[in-house]
Protein backbone atom coordinates (compact mmCIF):
# COMPACT_ATOMS: atom_id res chain seq x y z
CA UNK A 1 0.00 0.00 0.00
CA UNK A 2 1.06 3.52 -0.56
CA UNK A 3 0.86 6.61 1.48
CA UNK A 4 -2.14 8.75 0.59
CA UNK A 5 -1.02 11.30 -1.90
CA UNK A 6 0.11 14.74 -0.75
CA UNK A 7 0.25 13.45 2.73
CA UNK A 8 2.28 14.55 5.65
CA UNK A 9 4.10 17.68 6.36
CA UNK A 10 3.34 19.53 3.17
CA UNK A 11 -0.19 19.91 4.33
CA UNK A 12 0.27 19.31 7.98
CA UNK A 13 0.96 22.94 8.71
CA UNK A 14 -2.16 24.00 6.90
CA UNK A 15 -4.21 21.44 8.69
CA UNK A 16 -2.91 22.58 12.00
CA UNK A 17 -3.41 26.23 11.29
CA UNK A 18 -6.35 26.42 8.97
CA UNK A 19 -7.39 25.88 5.44
CA UNK A 20 -6.27 29.13 3.87
CA UNK A 21 -2.95 27.66 3.03
CA UNK A 22 -4.43 24.62 1.36
CA UNK A 23 -6.61 26.80 -0.81
CA UNK A 24 -3.68 28.88 -1.88
CA UNK A 25 -1.69 25.89 -2.98
CA UNK A 26 -4.09 24.09 -5.26
CA UNK A 27 -1.32 22.38 -7.13
CA UNK A 28 -1.04 19.44 -4.81
CA UNK A 29 0.19 17.02 -7.40
CA UNK A 30 3.53 18.71 -7.69
CA UNK A 31 3.87 18.60 -3.93
CA UNK A 32 3.20 14.91 -3.93
CA UNK A 33 5.91 14.39 -6.48
CA UNK A 34 8.26 16.45 -4.38
CA UNK A 35 7.42 14.69 -1.18
CA UNK A 36 7.45 11.15 -2.33
CA UNK A 37 9.39 11.85 -5.47
CA UNK A 38 13.00 11.37 -6.30
CA UNK A 39 14.41 14.76 -5.39
CA UNK A 40 14.60 14.05 -1.68
CA UNK A 41 17.79 14.92 0.17
CA UNK A 42 20.42 12.41 -1.01
CA UNK A 43 21.45 11.87 2.59
CA UNK A 44 18.30 9.83 3.23
CA UNK A 45 18.60 6.07 2.86
CA UNK A 46 16.87 4.64 -0.21
CA UNK A 47 15.14 1.42 -1.13
CA UNK A 48 17.22 0.33 -4.11
CA UNK A 49 18.31 -3.25 -3.51
CA UNK A 50 16.49 -6.12 -1.81
CA UNK A 51 17.31 -6.44 1.85
CA UNK A 52 16.99 -9.12 4.51
CA UNK A 53 13.92 -8.55 6.65
CA UNK A 54 14.27 -9.49 10.28
CA UNK A 55 11.31 -9.70 12.61
CA UNK A 56 10.39 -8.37 15.04
CA UNK A 57 13.06 -5.68 14.46
CA UNK A 58 11.52 -4.56 11.19
CA UNK A 59 8.20 -3.92 12.88
CA UNK A 60 10.05 -1.01 14.47
CA UNK A 61 10.99 2.29 12.78
CA UNK A 62 13.52 2.96 10.04
CA UNK A 63 14.22 6.64 10.73
CA UNK A 64 16.96 6.90 8.10
CA UNK A 65 14.22 6.67 5.46
CA UNK A 66 11.99 9.64 4.80
CA UNK A 67 8.56 8.00 5.07
CA UNK A 68 7.18 5.03 6.87
CA UNK A 69 3.81 3.75 7.94
CA UNK A 70 1.97 1.19 10.00
CA UNK A 71 -1.33 0.66 8.25
CA UNK A 72 -4.01 -1.56 9.80
CA UNK A 73 -7.43 -2.05 8.25
CA UNK A 74 -10.08 -4.57 9.19
CA UNK A 75 -13.64 -5.81 8.87
CA UNK A 76 -15.51 -6.62 12.07
CA UNK A 77 -18.92 -7.87 13.23
CA UNK A 78 -20.59 -7.83 16.60
CA UNK A 79 -22.72 -10.59 18.14
CA UNK A 80 -25.86 -9.17 16.57
CA UNK A 81 -24.35 -9.33 13.13
CA UNK A 82 -23.81 -5.60 12.81
CA UNK A 83 -21.04 -4.84 10.36
CA UNK A 84 -18.08 -2.43 10.94
CA UNK A 85 -14.85 -1.47 9.26
CA UNK A 86 -11.83 0.28 10.77
CA UNK A 87 -8.59 1.87 9.70
CA UNK A 88 -5.79 2.91 12.03
CA UNK A 89 -2.70 4.25 10.32
CA UNK A 90 0.36 5.83 11.85
CA UNK A 91 2.71 7.65 9.51
CA UNK A 92 6.27 8.61 10.29
CA UNK A 93 7.94 11.33 8.30
CA UNK A 94 11.53 12.59 8.59
CA UNK A 95 11.86 16.29 7.84
CA UNK A 96 15.60 16.06 7.34
CA UNK A 97 18.07 13.17 7.10
CA UNK A 98 19.57 14.07 10.46
CA UNK A 99 19.09 16.42 13.35
CA UNK A 100 21.57 18.41 15.42
CA UNK A 101 22.45 17.16 18.87
CA UNK A 102 20.54 18.85 21.65
CA UNK A 103 20.01 18.74 25.37
CA UNK A 104 16.34 19.25 24.66
CA UNK A 105 14.28 16.10 24.33
CA UNK A 106 12.01 18.01 21.94
CA UNK A 107 14.62 18.47 19.23
CA UNK A 108 13.76 16.06 16.44
CA UNK A 109 13.38 15.64 12.70
CA UNK A 110 10.62 13.04 13.10
CA UNK A 111 6.95 13.82 12.65
CA UNK A 112 4.10 11.40 13.31
CA UNK A 113 0.55 11.54 11.98
CA UNK A 114 -2.24 9.07 12.66
CA UNK A 115 -5.59 8.53 10.95
CA UNK A 116 -8.44 6.65 12.54
CA UNK A 117 -11.60 5.77 10.62
CA UNK A 118 -14.57 3.60 11.48
CA UNK A 119 -17.32 2.51 9.08
CA UNK A 120 -20.72 1.75 10.58
CA UNK A 121 -22.20 -0.22 7.67
CA UNK A 122 -25.69 -0.76 9.11
CA UNK A 123 -26.20 2.89 9.91
CA UNK A 124 -24.28 4.03 6.84
CA UNK A 125 -22.04 6.28 8.88
CA UNK A 126 -18.34 6.94 8.52
CA UNK A 127 -16.17 8.44 11.31
CA UNK A 128 -12.72 9.98 10.94
CA UNK A 129 -10.20 11.49 13.35
CA UNK A 130 -6.52 12.28 13.28
CA UNK A 131 -3.54 13.06 15.46
CA UNK A 132 -0.18 14.61 14.76
CA UNK A 133 2.89 15.16 16.86
CA UNK A 134 6.61 15.45 16.82
CA UNK A 135 8.31 12.12 17.37
CA UNK A 136 10.03 13.28 20.53
CA UNK A 137 9.68 13.82 24.26
CA UNK A 138 7.68 10.60 24.46
CA UNK A 139 4.76 12.25 22.70
CA UNK A 140 4.93 10.04 19.62
CA UNK A 141 7.33 7.45 18.36
CA UNK A 142 8.00 3.91 17.31
CA UNK A 143 10.13 1.12 18.71
CA UNK A 144 10.72 -2.55 17.88
CA UNK A 145 11.33 -4.00 21.33
CA UNK A 146 8.85 -4.13 22.82
CA UNK A 147 6.88 -3.21 19.75
CA UNK A 148 5.07 0.09 20.11
CA UNK A 149 4.02 2.88 17.75
CA UNK A 150 2.10 5.74 19.26
CA UNK A 151 0.85 9.31 19.08
CA UNK A 152 -0.58 10.74 22.27
CA UNK A 153 -2.89 8.08 23.67
CA UNK A 154 -3.33 6.25 20.36
CA UNK A 155 -1.09 3.27 19.99
CA UNK A 156 -0.30 -0.06 18.44
CA UNK A 157 1.64 -2.13 20.96
CA UNK A 158 2.92 -5.66 21.05
CA UNK A 159 1.98 -7.81 24.03
CA UNK A 160 4.82 -10.20 24.78
CA UNK A 161 2.75 -12.60 26.89
CA UNK A 162 0.12 -13.23 24.23
CA UNK A 163 2.11 -12.47 21.10
CA UNK A 164 -0.66 -10.13 19.97
CA UNK A 165 -0.83 -6.51 18.95
CA UNK A 166 -3.05 -4.17 20.88
CA UNK A 167 -4.59 -1.24 19.04
CA UNK A 168 -6.08 1.60 21.05
CA UNK A 169 -7.39 4.82 19.58
CA UNK A 170 -10.18 6.90 21.00
CA UNK A 171 -11.67 10.14 19.79
CA UNK A 172 -14.64 12.12 21.06
CA UNK A 173 -17.27 10.35 18.97
CA UNK A 174 -15.79 6.91 18.47
CA UNK A 175 -12.89 4.66 19.22
CA UNK A 176 -11.36 1.21 18.94
CA UNK A 177 -9.73 -1.13 21.42
CA UNK A 178 -8.66 -4.26 19.53
CA UNK A 179 -6.34 -7.21 19.95
CA UNK A 180 -4.79 -8.64 16.77
CA UNK A 181 -3.28 -12.10 16.37
CA UNK A 182 -1.39 -12.90 13.18
CA UNK A 183 -2.76 -15.99 11.44
CA UNK A 184 -0.05 -15.90 8.79
CA UNK A 185 3.58 -14.78 8.83
CA UNK A 186 4.67 -11.52 7.23
CA UNK A 187 4.53 -11.50 3.45
CA UNK A 188 7.21 -9.64 1.48
CA UNK A 189 5.64 -7.72 -1.38
CA UNK A 190 7.36 -6.86 -4.64
CA UNK A 191 10.63 -8.69 -5.20
CA UNK A 192 11.71 -9.97 -1.78
CA UNK A 193 10.10 -6.95 -0.15
CA UNK A 194 11.47 -4.36 -2.58
CA UNK A 195 8.41 -2.80 -4.16
CA UNK A 196 9.06 -0.91 -7.38
CA UNK A 197 6.76 2.09 -7.92
CA UNK A 198 7.91 3.34 -11.33
CA UNK A 199 10.31 2.57 -14.13
CA UNK A 200 12.98 4.59 -12.31
CA UNK A 201 14.74 2.11 -9.99
CA UNK A 202 15.17 4.79 -7.32
CA UNK A 203 11.39 5.03 -6.88
CA UNK A 204 10.77 2.05 -4.66
CA UNK A 205 9.92 1.11 -1.12
CA UNK A 206 10.40 -1.75 1.32
CA UNK A 207 7.01 -3.28 1.78
CA UNK A 208 5.66 -6.20 3.79
CA UNK A 209 2.20 -7.19 4.96
CA UNK A 210 0.54 -9.47 7.45
CA UNK A 211 -2.50 -10.36 5.42
CA UNK A 212 -4.65 -12.11 7.99
CA UNK A 213 -4.90 -11.12 11.63
CA UNK A 214 -7.63 -12.48 13.87
CA UNK A 215 -9.14 -9.47 15.63
CA UNK A 216 -11.17 -9.26 18.85
CA UNK A 217 -12.10 -6.38 21.02
CA UNK A 218 -14.45 -3.49 21.30
CA UNK A 219 -15.49 -0.61 19.15
CA UNK A 220 -17.25 2.49 20.39
CA UNK A 221 -19.56 4.77 18.48
CA UNK A 222 -20.99 7.54 20.59
CA UNK A 223 -22.43 6.00 23.72
CA UNK A 224 -22.53 2.50 22.23
CA UNK A 225 -19.85 -0.07 22.92
CA UNK A 226 -19.79 -3.04 20.56
CA UNK A 227 -17.95 -6.27 21.21
CA UNK A 228 -16.52 -7.14 17.84
CA UNK A 229 -14.43 -9.73 16.05
CA UNK A 230 -13.15 -10.19 12.51
CA UNK A 231 -10.07 -10.02 10.34
CA UNK A 232 -7.45 -7.28 9.94
CA UNK A 233 -4.66 -6.57 7.52
CA UNK A 234 -1.33 -4.90 8.30
CA UNK A 235 0.71 -3.05 5.72
CA UNK A 236 4.20 -1.86 6.56
CA UNK A 237 6.16 0.26 4.14
CA UNK A 238 9.11 2.62 4.22
CA UNK A 239 10.85 4.57 1.53
CA UNK A 240 12.48 7.83 0.63
CA UNK A 241 11.14 8.33 -2.86
CA UNK A 242 8.38 6.22 -4.27
CA UNK A 243 6.53 8.17 -6.90
CA UNK A 244 7.31 9.41 -10.37
CA UNK A 245 6.29 12.87 -11.49
CA UNK A 246 3.67 11.63 -13.96
CA UNK A 247 1.74 9.51 -11.45
CA UNK A 248 -1.50 11.13 -10.33
CA UNK A 249 -2.82 8.57 -7.84
CA UNK A 250 -3.47 4.97 -7.13
CA UNK A 251 -6.05 2.32 -6.35
CA UNK A 252 -5.14 -0.22 -3.70
CA UNK A 253 -7.02 -3.41 -2.90
CA UNK A 254 -6.43 -5.70 0.09
CA UNK A 255 -8.93 -8.55 -0.04
CA UNK A 256 -9.33 -11.52 2.29
CA UNK A 257 -11.27 -14.45 0.79
CA UNK A 258 -13.21 -17.03 2.75
CA UNK A 259 -11.17 -19.89 1.28
CA UNK A 260 -8.16 -18.62 3.24
CA UNK A 261 -6.36 -16.79 0.45
CA UNK A 262 -5.59 -13.06 0.13
CA UNK A 263 -5.10 -10.73 -2.78
CA UNK A 264 -3.29 -7.35 -2.74
CA UNK A 265 -3.21 -5.16 -5.83
CA UNK A 266 -2.03 -1.61 -6.37
CA UNK A 267 -2.68 0.23 -9.57
CA UNK A 268 -0.66 3.40 -10.14
CA UNK A 269 -2.54 5.80 -12.42
CA UNK A 270 -0.71 8.02 -14.85
CA UNK A 271 -1.61 11.52 -16.02
CA UNK A 272 -2.70 10.10 -19.39
CA UNK A 273 -5.30 7.91 -17.68
CA UNK A 274 -3.50 4.60 -18.13
CA UNK A 275 -2.14 2.28 -15.46
CA UNK A 276 1.62 2.51 -14.83
CA UNK A 277 3.40 -0.72 -15.83
CA UNK A 278 5.02 -0.66 -12.40
CA UNK A 279 1.62 -1.46 -10.88
CA UNK A 280 1.73 -4.82 -9.15
CA UNK A 281 0.31 -7.08 -6.45
CA UNK A 282 0.70 -10.15 -4.30
CA UNK A 283 -1.38 -13.30 -4.05
CA UNK A 284 -1.20 -15.32 -0.85
CA UNK A 285 -2.67 -18.79 -0.97
CA UNK A 286 -4.53 -20.42 1.92
CA UNK A 287 -1.43 -22.35 2.88
CA UNK A 288 0.76 -19.24 2.79
CA UNK A 289 2.47 -19.50 -0.58
CA UNK A 290 2.99 -16.00 -1.96
CA UNK A 291 3.22 -14.98 -5.58
CA UNK A 292 4.24 -11.58 -6.94
CA UNK A 293 1.75 -10.28 -9.47
CA UNK A 294 3.04 -8.11 -12.30
CA UNK A 295 1.15 -5.47 -14.27
CA UNK A 296 0.07 -8.00 -16.89
CA UNK A 297 -1.30 -10.46 -14.32
CA UNK A 298 -4.12 -8.13 -13.26
CA UNK A 299 -7.15 -6.65 -14.99
CA UNK A 300 -9.16 -3.92 -13.23
CA UNK A 301 -12.55 -2.81 -14.57
CA UNK A 302 -14.53 -0.05 -12.96
CA UNK A 303 -18.26 -0.91 -12.92
CA UNK A 304 -19.70 2.05 -11.07
CA UNK A 305 -18.74 5.53 -9.87
CA UNK A 306 -19.60 7.55 -6.82
CA UNK A 307 -19.63 11.35 -6.78
CA UNK A 308 -18.37 12.85 -3.58
CA UNK A 309 -20.66 15.56 -2.23
CA UNK A 310 -17.46 17.59 -1.81
CA UNK A 311 -16.61 17.21 -5.49
CA UNK A 312 -14.67 14.64 -7.42
CA UNK A 313 -15.78 11.24 -8.56
CA UNK A 314 -14.42 7.95 -7.22
CA UNK A 315 -14.74 4.47 -8.77
CA UNK A 316 -17.16 2.60 -6.56
CA UNK A 317 -17.43 -0.98 -7.88
CA UNK A 318 -14.90 -3.11 -9.65
CA UNK A 319 -14.36 -6.35 -11.42
CA UNK A 320 -10.87 -7.68 -10.67
CA UNK A 321 -9.45 -10.48 -12.74
CA UNK A 322 -6.27 -12.44 -12.09
CA UNK A 323 -6.47 -15.17 -14.74
CA UNK A 324 -3.25 -16.77 -13.49
CA UNK A 325 -5.06 -17.87 -10.32
CA UNK A 326 -8.54 -18.15 -11.73
CA UNK A 327 -9.68 -15.16 -9.76
CA UNK A 328 -12.70 -13.16 -10.88
CA UNK A 329 -13.92 -10.93 -8.12
CA UNK A 330 -16.66 -8.35 -7.77
CA UNK A 331 -15.62 -5.69 -5.25
CA UNK A 332 -18.32 -3.43 -3.74
CA UNK A 333 -17.96 -0.81 -1.00
CA UNK A 334 -20.13 -1.55 2.02
CA UNK A 335 -21.14 2.08 1.93
CA UNK A 336 -20.28 4.61 -0.77
CA UNK A 337 -19.12 7.44 1.38
CA UNK A 338 -15.90 6.44 3.11
CA UNK A 339 -13.98 9.54 2.16
CA UNK A 340 -11.46 10.97 4.65
CA UNK A 341 -11.00 14.69 5.12
CA UNK A 342 -7.84 14.50 7.10
CA UNK A 343 -4.56 16.19 6.33
CA UNK A 344 -5.32 15.11 2.79
CA UNK A 345 -8.53 13.98 1.16
CA UNK A 346 -8.77 10.37 0.07
CA UNK A 347 -11.12 7.40 0.06
CA UNK A 348 -10.38 4.38 2.19
CA UNK A 349 -13.14 1.95 2.93
CA UNK A 350 -14.43 -1.48 3.72
CA UNK A 351 -15.57 -3.56 0.77
CA UNK A 352 -17.43 -6.82 0.11
CA UNK A 353 -16.14 -9.38 -2.34
CA UNK A 354 -18.00 -12.08 -4.29
CA UNK A 355 -16.81 -14.14 -7.21
CA UNK A 356 -14.83 -17.18 -8.22
CA UNK A 357 -11.49 -18.68 -7.32
CA UNK A 358 -10.44 -21.51 -9.60
CA UNK A 359 -14.12 -21.88 -10.60
CA UNK A 360 -15.21 -22.28 -6.99
CA UNK A 361 -17.46 -19.51 -5.63
CA UNK A 362 -15.80 -17.40 -3.00
CA UNK A 363 -16.83 -14.53 -0.79
CA UNK A 364 -14.66 -12.14 1.08
CA UNK A 365 -14.07 -8.78 2.55
CA UNK A 366 -11.37 -6.23 2.28
CA UNK A 367 -10.27 -2.60 2.15
CA UNK A 368 -9.76 -0.33 -0.83
CA UNK A 369 -7.80 2.92 -0.96
CA UNK A 370 -8.35 5.48 -3.71
CA UNK A 371 -6.22 8.57 -4.04
CA UNK A 372 -5.86 11.33 -6.55
CA UNK A 373 -9.55 11.66 -7.35
CA UNK A 374 -10.47 14.51 -5.09
CA UNK A 375 -8.83 17.36 -6.97
CA UNK A 376 -10.99 17.28 -10.10
Partner 1 sequence: MIPVTYRASFSYLLRHPWQLALALLGISVGVAVIVAVDLANASARKAFLLSMDTITGEATHQIIGGPRGVTEDIYTRLRVNHGTRAIAPIIDGAATIDDVTMSILGVDLFAEREIRTFTGEALTRDTDASGANSLFAEFLVTPGAVTTSQQTAKQLGLSVGDTFELFVEGKNQQATLLAILPDDGNGSLDRLLVTDIATAQEWLGLAGWLSRIDVRIADGDQNSLAALEAALPGGTQLLSAAGRTRSTAEMSQAFMTNLTAMSLLALLVGLFLIFNSVNFSVLQRRPLIGVLRALGLTRRQLLAMILVEATVLGSIAAVFGMVLGVALGEQLLELVSRTINDLYFRVNVTNVSIETFSIAKGLIAGVGAALVAAALPAIEATSYQPRLALTRSALERGARRALPTVALTGIAVMASAVLLILTSGSNLVAGLAAVFLLILGFALCVPLFVRFASNLAAPLAGRLGGTSARMAVAGIASGLSRTGVAIVALAIAVSATIGVSVMVDSFRGSVSTWLQQTLQADVYAGLDRSGAMDPDLIETIRNIDGVVDMSTRKRASIEDENGRTELRVFEMPPASYAGAELIDADPSAAWTAWESSDALFVSEPYAYQNNVGAGDTVVLPTDFGPHKFAIAATFQSYDINASGIMMSRATYARHFDDDSIDSLGLYLADGVSADTVIEQIKALSAGRQELYISSNVSLRELSLLIFDRTFVITDILYWLTLGVAFIGILSAMLALQLERAREFATLRALGMTPTQVGSMIITQTGVIGLLSGLAAVPLGVVMAWVLIKVINRRAFGWQIDMSIGPGILLVAVAFAMGAALLAGLYPAYRAGRSQPAIAMREE
Residues that bind partner 1 (CB under 8 A): 9-14, 16-18, 20-21, 25, 30-31, 33-35, 39, 95-96, 99-100, 102-109, 111, 132-134, 136-139, 150, 152-153, 170
3-class SS of residue 320: strand
257 phi/psi in degrees, rounded to 5:
-95, 155
Nearer to partner 1, 31 or 196 (CB): 31
8 Å CB contact between 241 and 72? no
Shortest gap between Cβ of 234 and partner 1 (angstroms)?
22
Shortest gap between Cβ of 156 and partner 1 (angstroms)?
14
348 contact partners, CB below 8 Å, separation of at least 6: 4, 73, 87, 117, 338, 340, 367, 368, 369, 370
Tell me the HSE value of 210 on the side-chain side, using a 13 A CA sphere.
24
179 contact partners, CB below 8 Å, separation of at least 6: 159, 162, 164, 165, 166, 167, 215, 216, 217
d(CA 96, CA 109): 6
Shortest gap between Cβ of 63 and partner 1 (angstroms)?
13
Shortest gap between Cβ of 278 and partner 1 (angstroms)?
22
d(CA 158, CA 142): 11
28 phi/psi in degrees, rounded to 5:
-80, -25
Nearer to partner 1, 140 or 329 (CB): 140
Shortest gap between Cβ of 98 and partner 1 (angstroms)?
9
Shortest gap between Cβ of 244 and partner 1 (angstroms)?
15
Nearer to partner 1, 121 or 243 (CB): 243
Give one DSSP letter per residue of 177-243, joined into a string: EEEEEESS--EE-TBTTEEE-SSSTTSEEEEEEEEEEEEEEEEEETTEEEEEEEEEEEEEEEES---
Nearer to partner 1, 96 or 162 (CB): 96
Nearer to partner 1, 20 or 52 (CB): 20
Nearer to partner 1, 79 or 153 (CB): 153
Nearer to partner 1, 81 or 138 (CB): 138
**351 beta partners:** 333, 366
Shortest gap between Cβ of 124 and partner 1 (angstroms)?
28
Shortest gap between Cβ of 47 and partner 1 (angstroms)?
20
Shortest gap between Cβ of 229 and partner 1 (angstroms)?
25
Count of Cβ atoms closer than 10 Å to residue 29 Cβ? 18
10 contact partners, CB below 8 Å, separation of at least 6: 28, 31, 32, 34, 35
Count of Cβ atoms closer than 10 Å to residue 101 Cβ? 6
8 Å CB contact between 263 and 320? yes
Nearer to partner 1, 45 or 139 (CB): 139
Nearer to partner 1, 99 or 183 (CB): 99
**226 beta partners:** 219
Amino acid sequence: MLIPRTCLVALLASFIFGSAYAEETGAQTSQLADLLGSDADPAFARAIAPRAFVFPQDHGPHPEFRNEWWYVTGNLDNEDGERFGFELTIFRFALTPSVSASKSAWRTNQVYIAHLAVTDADNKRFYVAQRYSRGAAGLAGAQAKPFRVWIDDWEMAGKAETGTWHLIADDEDFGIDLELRALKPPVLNGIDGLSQKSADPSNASYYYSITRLQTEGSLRIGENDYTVSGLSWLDREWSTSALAADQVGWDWFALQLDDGSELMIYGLRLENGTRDPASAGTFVSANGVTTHLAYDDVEISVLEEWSSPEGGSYPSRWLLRVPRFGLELNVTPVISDQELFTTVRYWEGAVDVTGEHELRPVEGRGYVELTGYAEE
